[in-house]
């Protein structure tokens, strides 16, 4: 259907209805932000009705345009759009249901327990939400990943006569988004990539929680984005539907640059007669709502006013246009299946989050080697074996691929650049926060995506890592240089508290493998994941490759922790628990204790989250309840380890920041030697036998 101008009167009724719903939701909840969704409602309405290719009856259609509400506090706007458009709900297994995603009861229970209208958009909770957007700036950064994914999908799947992918990505942002650093990182990357399928709509209402932005934010945003290399269009009045449409046409006509549409809006008032706006997050109050409804021509005594013509208007607009576009796409896809069956199979598997048959058949097995490999090196080899069999594995590094060893070397992988959209190696630049957020966007668009950096810089990416867990998407975060093993780079680059911090995050799997074969098993476990992100924590220094004919198979990693080697009689005096490089230290300490006649069981515990999911019987079989003498060893904070070593156990760990020195000097200084671990084990064993507390 055309996106020519529709009836103004019916449009104004629809926009006023949206504004009324936004007011009523916030007023009923006595919580939320009514002004922002009201001020930008004409822009969102015009976008949805005349431009957005979105089929409410099939919100998972792969070539749909994406709409990301980056100013997530304006969620009532999105709930109104999803309700009025009749967007269908989707089950967790992605089967579309007939029931609406957002019901009238949901609108009436905005911000209440169980409602599909939470305070901010939550992915997986409400169908039609493309990404979780609460922390400002995350939505626009994630949208860059979606746009990059769209460009890659087009390059990979499209063929002459078959334009399967040509979707656009729209993100609605506010002043707060423009202030957040992650948005600047992402905007810079989007400009470099020349993402002409990306449009950010900047709702410049000039108000934040503390008041008018003049107290904090006086830069020329348009000039900044022009300097990045964006196409910038200004809309002087957010209520002028013709100007809004003209700006969106300008975006559609731009084929070289991403577009910023800067909309000058005026945040909603408690009453149009008031001279000053109410607080940014404050309901208007009963009298304010009545006055505002009167101003917009709505019945002031009717809450949740929903004239039937507004439903019809949405059905005639976004509904009809989206259904026609989706139906035509499905016809094209069926013909495509005949001409390109292998590619069609890839597309189907991507959409269902399924892997090619035998995807792991080529995973390497590493022979015993006392010198071994750094786990970053073995991981790089495994990653390339996976990329060989799964063509939609894509990712890169925050300027550190030569160190993280995450470059894809398979034939045709190439670099993702403006003129090479099919490249599978992404150069994120020194932009850790954006790298993680952009990768989330890639994953949300069904690519099996990863990014990498030094472990210490996970701090810069933590908000986006958290959102990958909150959204339950299988983003892979790869971190190398995992400990004081960084050595001479010193404490600024030596992670100490990062492991404990990420282990504390719900829904995130954190792996710290001990050798090359544990690395293989970590990848074997995480690649099939559909709803969990994973963190791989890898070493810079070499780790001996264990002889699995002597110690337990690395497949024990799937349980999160396993008995690597037991006491000779299977009745240990002491348990030695470790992860990563310190597993080898525990093995050396075990040998030293054996010379004293002390039997030690060494437990590799590479993923706490998986271990905690096992049955009590399994966990007891690994961590024998009758053995109180336990020592954990890890070159990181001791925080969290006492859940495994118990009240009388000991932890050989970091209790300060590191220092700048060669690795061996640091290991001696901080007590990471076999003799120190053995000494602590002896003391712990003695204390438990005497009934004393830990040494």
CA atoms within 13 A on the CB side of 341: 1
Neighbour-count burial of 576, counting CB atoms closer than 10 A to its CB (0-12 exposed, 13-18 middle, 19+ buried): buried
H-type helices in 390-457, by residue range? Answer: 401-404, 432-444
> Using the 8-state DSSP alphabet, how is residue 368 labeled?
P
Q: Is 432 a catalytic residue?
A: yes
Q: Is 549 helix (H, G, I), strand (E, B) or coil?
A: coil
Across-strand partners of 203? 174, 263
* Sequence-ordered list of residues with C-beta below 8 angstroms from that of 637, at least 6 positions apart, any chain: 496, 497, 499, 500, 653, 654, 655
Rg (CA), the chain: 28
How far apart are the C-alpha atoms of 564 and 577, rounded to whole Å? 10
Q: Residue 131: name the closest of 355, 444, 581 by CA.
A: 444
Q: Which helix (H) or strand (E) holds 396?
A: strand 393-397
C-beta neighbour count of 574 within 10 angstroms: 25
Buried b (16+ CB within 10 A) or exposed e, 154-184: bebbeeeeeebbebbbbbbbbbbbbbbebbb
- Could you tell me how many residues make up the chain? 695
Across-strand partners of 309? none
Of 282, 432, 518, 521, the active-site residue reads 432
First to last CA, the chain: 76
How far apart are the C-alpha atoms of 362 and 386, rounded to whole Å? 8
Q: Which helix (H) or strand (E) holds 427?
A: strand 425-427
The shares of helix, strand and coil residues in the chain, as percent rounded to the nearest 5, are: 45, 15, 40
Q: Are 21 and 310 in contact (CB under 8 A)?
A: no
User: Which residues are the active-site residues?
Assistant: 432
């Amino acid at each position: 259907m055309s996106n020519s101008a529709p009836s103004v009167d019916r449009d104004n009724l629809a926009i006023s209805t949206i504004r009324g719903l936004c007011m009523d939701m916030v007023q009923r909840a006595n919580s939320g932000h009514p002004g922002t969704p009201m001020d930008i409602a004409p822009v969102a309405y015009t976008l949805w009705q005349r431009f957005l290719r979105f089929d409410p009856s099939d919100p998972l259609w792969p070539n749909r345009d994406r709409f990301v509400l980056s100013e997530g506090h304006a969620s009532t706007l999105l709930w109104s759009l999803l309700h009025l458009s009749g967007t269908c709900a989707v089950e967790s297994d992605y089967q579309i249901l007939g029931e609406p995603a957002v019901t009238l009861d949901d609108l009436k229970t905005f911000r209440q327990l169980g409602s599909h209208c939470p305070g901010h958009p939550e992915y997986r909770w409400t169908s039609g939400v493309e990404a979780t957007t609460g922390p400002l700036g995350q939505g626009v950064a994630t949208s860059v990943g979606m746009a990059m994914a769209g460009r890659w999908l087009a390059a990979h799947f499209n063929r002459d006569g078959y334009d399967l992918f040509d979707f656009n990505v729209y993100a609605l942002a506010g002043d707060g988004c423009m202030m957040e650093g992650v948005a600047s990182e992402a905007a810079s990357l989007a400009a470099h990539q020349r993402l002409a399928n990306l449009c950010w709509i900047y709702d410049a209402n000039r108000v934040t929680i503390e008041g008018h932005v003049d107290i904090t934010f006086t830069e020329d945003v348009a000039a900044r984005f022009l300097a990045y290399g964006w196409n910038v269009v200004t809309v002087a009045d957010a209520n002028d539907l013709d100007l809004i449409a003209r700006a969106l046409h300008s975006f559609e006509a731009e084929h070289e640059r991403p577009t910023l549409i800067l909309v000058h809006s005026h945040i909603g008032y408690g009453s149009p007669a008031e001279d000053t706006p109410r607080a940014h997050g404050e309901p208007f109050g009963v009298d304010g709502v009545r006055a505002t409804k009167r101003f917009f021509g709505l019945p002031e005594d009717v809450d949740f006013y929903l004239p039937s013509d507004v439903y019809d208007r949405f059905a005639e607009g976004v509904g009809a246009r989206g259904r026609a576009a989706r139906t035509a796409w499905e016809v094209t896809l069926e013909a495509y299946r005949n001409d390109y069956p292998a590619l069609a199979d890839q597309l189907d598997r991507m959409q269902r989050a399924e892997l090619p048959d035998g995807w792991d058949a080529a995973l390497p097995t590493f022979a015993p080697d006392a010198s071994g490999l750094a786990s970053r090196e073995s991981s790089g080899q495994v990653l390339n074996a996976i990329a060989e069999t799964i063509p939609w594995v894509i990712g890169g590094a925050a300027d550190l691929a030569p160190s993280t060893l995450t470059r894809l070397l398979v034939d045709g992988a190439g670099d993702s650049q403006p003129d090479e959209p099919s490249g599978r190696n992404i150069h994120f630049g020194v932009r850790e926060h954006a790298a993680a957020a952009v990768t989330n966007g890639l994953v949300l668009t069904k690519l099996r995506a990863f990014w990498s950096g030094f472990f210490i810089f996970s701090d810069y990416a933590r908000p986006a890592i958290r959102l990958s867990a909150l959204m339950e998407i299988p983003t892979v975060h790869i971190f190398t240089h995992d400990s004081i093993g960084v050595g001479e780079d010193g404490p600024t680059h030596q992670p100490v508290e990062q492991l404990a911090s990420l282990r504390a995050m719900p829904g995130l799997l954190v792996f710290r493998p001990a050798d090359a074969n544990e690395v293989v098993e970590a990848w074997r476990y995480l690649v099939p994941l559909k709803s969990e992100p994973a963190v791989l924590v890898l070493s810079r220094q070499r780790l001996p490759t264990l002889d699995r004919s002597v110690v337990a198979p690395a497949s024990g990693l799937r349980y999160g922790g396993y008995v690597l080697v037991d006491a000779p009689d299977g009745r240990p005096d002491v348990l030695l628990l470790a992860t990563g490089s310190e597993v080898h230290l525990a093995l050396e300490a075990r040998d030293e204790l054996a010379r004293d006649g002390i039997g030690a069981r060494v437990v590799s515990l590479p993923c706490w989250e998986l271990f905690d999911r096992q049955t009590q019987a399994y966990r007891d079989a690994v961590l024998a309840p009758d053995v109180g003498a336990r020592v954990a060893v890890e070159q990181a904070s001791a925080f969290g380890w006492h859940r495994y070593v118990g009240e009388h156990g000991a932890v050989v760990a970091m209790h300060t920041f590191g220092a700048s020195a060669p690795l061996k000097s640091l290991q001696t200084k901080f007590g990471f030697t076999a003799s120190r671990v053995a000494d602590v084990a002896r003391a712990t064993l003695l204390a438990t036998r005497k009934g004393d507390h830990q040494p």
